[in-house]
Amino acid sequence: MAASDIKTKNRDVPLDRVRNIGIIAHIDAGKTTTTERILFYTGKSYKIGDIDEGDTQMDWMEQEKERGITIVSAATTTFWTVEDPNSPIPTGSYRVNIIDTPGHVDFTAEVERSLRVLDGAVTVLDAEETVQSQTETVWRQADKYNVPRIIFVNKNDKLGANFEGTIKAIIERLGANPAVMAYPIGAEHEFKGVVLLLERQALIWQGDETGAKFTVEEAPQAMKETVEKWRAKLIEQICETDDQLIEKFLAGEEPTIAELKAALRRAVIAYKLVPVYAGASLRNKGVQPMLDAIVEYLPSPVDIDHVSGINPRTGETVTRKTINEEPFTALSFKIQTDPHVGRLTYTRIYSGTLKSGDTIYNVSKEREERVSRMLLMHANKREEIDQAFAGEIVALVGLKDTTTGNTLSSKANPIVMESITFPEPVISLAIEPKTKSDQEKMGYALNKLSDEDPTFKIKTNHETGQTIISGMGELHLEIIVDRMKREFHVEASTGAPQVAYKETVKKLAEGEGKYIRQSGGRGQYGHCFIRIEPQPRGAGYEFVDAIKGGAIPNEFIPAVEKGVREAMENGVIAGYPLVDLKATLYDGTYHDVDSSEMAFKIAGSMALQSVSKKADPVLLEPIMKVEVSTPDDFMGDVIGDLSSKRAQILGTDKRGNLTIINAYVPLAELSGYATKLRSLTQGRASYYMEPSHYEEVPKNIAEGIIAKSGKAQA
């Protein structure tokens, strides 16, 4: 366990010695603190950053330092040396590319896009809180992209820390198969080290200082029974994943440590086991064994030996081996505006190599782009490089049209990889510039910020002329407005947050749209019949062309769809977007001379508006999944208050001295909930919420919303 003195400049590291990993967890589990310890022990930083002091390496934005939270994922590169003779990989130096992601649900896009390009992840858990809601969310995100993981149970020094309870929660709430590798010695204020179960070795940290020094001893006598019990379980778990080892095990022969570690590495990459380590990052204990595990058990780009995509020219599935000799393939996963360099496109290179000055092909946008410079990032510091290789994460300068989720490749060998999907915004604000000079700057700033963040949307309300910004939560929008002020020097005032309602239909209906204009010379003629029917909640919009016998010429059908889509942006009840419906174009008429795309687009729009009114339209509202942690004394008050907010109480759990209340609550009822909860519980309860789904608004409440919108149903 030693930090290597190799500098990042020396980048000719074989691909099997590279690890691309992310740190993911619930807010406040200690992700950034853990990352800071990793950077210190690997020699990347000469002093340990502290969130409370505001001098961390990875939280470099002013807003992050002030709030003590991570807002944007930060990338960095460091090195670690493996010295264990029983290691499943060759000893020596390894390069680790780390992305520290946010824990707050408002910045879920940062986690989603980071996981899409990582080969492995470290999930940090709080030993007292065990598995929290956001941990479940990021775990599911990692499952979606099949990312192998290890778990670091942090805060074993915290009052109420319960390591075995955390293991139980991992099985029950995450559905994972945890393989406990390091068991804590002591708990709460008595926590002083860990026992590495396979080796039966105790690592004891003497003080809370930098934690770089620890002693290696035999496992404490008092823990002998516990160590043997967990060690036997671990060996059995590993053997079950390997045919040869299970034969040995059943014959009563214990495999060697080297055999067990090699099998464990294969099991982790195949996502059969999740190694679990224990520590306390803030007290600098237990980080080094976890660092060893990152390098020893998480995959290199070579272990994920190929990536798949679609050839856009043939529609066939193609694969690329993750080696330098294959054609260039990469995925852009993040856009950032840098005050010194301009627009940075963070890119994961899957195959081939890339040089500064190369022209590459954006397959998603069907455009060529030129890479003027390439940078290796360390949070917000940068290092220029001339060439990048397969398996690397680099920032490209000079790409004008590339956005998050675009595939980049060579023009001769195009491939489209699966893009990244993001949730829809749930909350909106009206925003206006304070002065005339801010008007132009505000448009520029908002566009730059929406370029960076796919969950941040801007639109103009044509009736009022207001600019409406939408995002994942109040904190999300607050940070956006703050960044406009600091980075773009735009002063703006905002209205009260508005819930992002939607509309849908409940029954099948048919109708027509007819647009005829005669104004001397050539006229306009478009006429179509549309059937609409409801789709399941969250299924989205579908357009079906069922025209037979050329009732509408083929060239006008896309225009009808465009009209339908545009009309869906403003529903018929209160002007909110229409969602979850299937529109079928089944008949129409046209005029040889007067028909045009414009006429059919308007006809499509008119048809949708008239049919929606007949299809029993209803209003939908976002429902949040809320988890309140409260001392038992206040449980009744908290549940009573939630019930008054139209909450659906899902159940309660016990966690130490706290009761955890789970509920679905309409977002419209949660304005100012933090203040209300504090006053109900003398400031002792906390809550967490994340968007869950949309549900129909009760009729009496819908009437009030419709009246406020000023758009009564015709």
- According to the model, what pLDDT value does residue 464 have? 64
Token readout for 345 is 């496109």
Same domain for 645 and 575: no
Distance of CA 184 to the CA centre of its chain: 31
Task: Write the CATH number for 345.
Answer: 2.40.30.10
Containing structural domain, residue 443 = 427-500
* Residue 352, marked binder: no
Give the DSSP H or E segment for 260. Answer: helix 257-269
- According to the model, what pLDDT value does residue 113 have? 65
3-state secondary structure of 135: helix
Q: Is the dihedral of CA 475, 477, 478, 482 positive or negative?
A: positive
The answer to whether residue 478 is domain-embedded is yes
- According to the model, what pLDDT value does residue 688 have? 79
Same domain for 532 and 400: no
* Residue 451, marked binder: no
* Residue 546, marked binder: no
* Residue 137, marked binder: no
Taking the chain (714 residues) in runs of 10, the rounded mean pLDDT of each run is 37 78 78 74 49 40 43 64 91 83 56 77 89 80 87 91 93 92 91 92 76 81 94 95 91 92 95 94 86 93 83 87 89 77 85 91 90 76 83 87 86 83 77 84 85 80 75 80 83 83 94 87 89 92 92 94 94 91 95 92 96 94 90 92 94 83 92 84 81 91 83 44
- According to the model, what pLDDT value does residue 241 have? 94
The answer to whether residue 451 is domain-embedded is yes
Instruction: Report the DSSP pairing between strands 149-154 and 274-278.
Output: parallel
Same domain for 404 and 255: no
Same domain for 670 and 564: no
The answer to whether residue 114 is domain-embedded is yes
Same domain for 489 and 525: no
* Residue 168, marked binder: no
Task: Write the CATH number for 557.
Answer: 3.30.230.10
**Residue located via tokens 């990875």:** 58
The answer to whether residue 7 is domain-embedded is no
- According to the model, what pLDDT value does residue 615 have? 94
- Residue after which a domain boundary falls, among 551, 582, 615: 615
Task: Write the CATH number for 485.
Answer: 3.30.70.870
* Residue 614, marked binder: no
- According to the model, what pLDDT value does residue 108 have? 61
Same domain for 22 and 131: yes
Same domain for 182 and 69: yes
Same domain for 514 and 494: no
- According to the model, what pLDDT value does residue 378 have? 61
* Residue 29, marked binder: yes
* Residue 182, marked binder: no
Same domain for 260 and 247: yes
- According to the model, what pLDDT value does residue 558 have? 95
CA distances from 155 to 129, 130, 342, 444 (A): 10, 10, 39, 43
Same domain for 508 and 468: no
**Percentages (nearest 5) of helix, strand, coil residues in the chain:** 30, 35, 35
The answer to whether residue 421 is domain-embedded is no
Number of domains forming the structure of the chain: 5
What would you report as the CA-atom Rg of the chain, rounded to the nearest whole angstrom? 28
* Residue 55, marked binder: no
* Residue 43, marked binder: no
* Residue 252, marked binder: no
- Residue after which a domain boundary falls, among 297, 324, 339: 297
- According to the model, what pLDDT value does residue 55 have? 40
The answer to whether residue 415 is domain-embedded is no
The answer to whether residue 198 is domain-embedded is yes
Q: Which amino acid is at 275?
A: P
Same domain for 81 and 113: yes
Task: Write the CATH number for 184.
Answer: 3.40.50.300
- Residue after which a domain boundary falls, among 297, 316, 334: 297
Q: pTM for the full model?
A: 0.69
Same domain for 701 and 631: yes
The answer to whether residue 562 is domain-embedded is yes
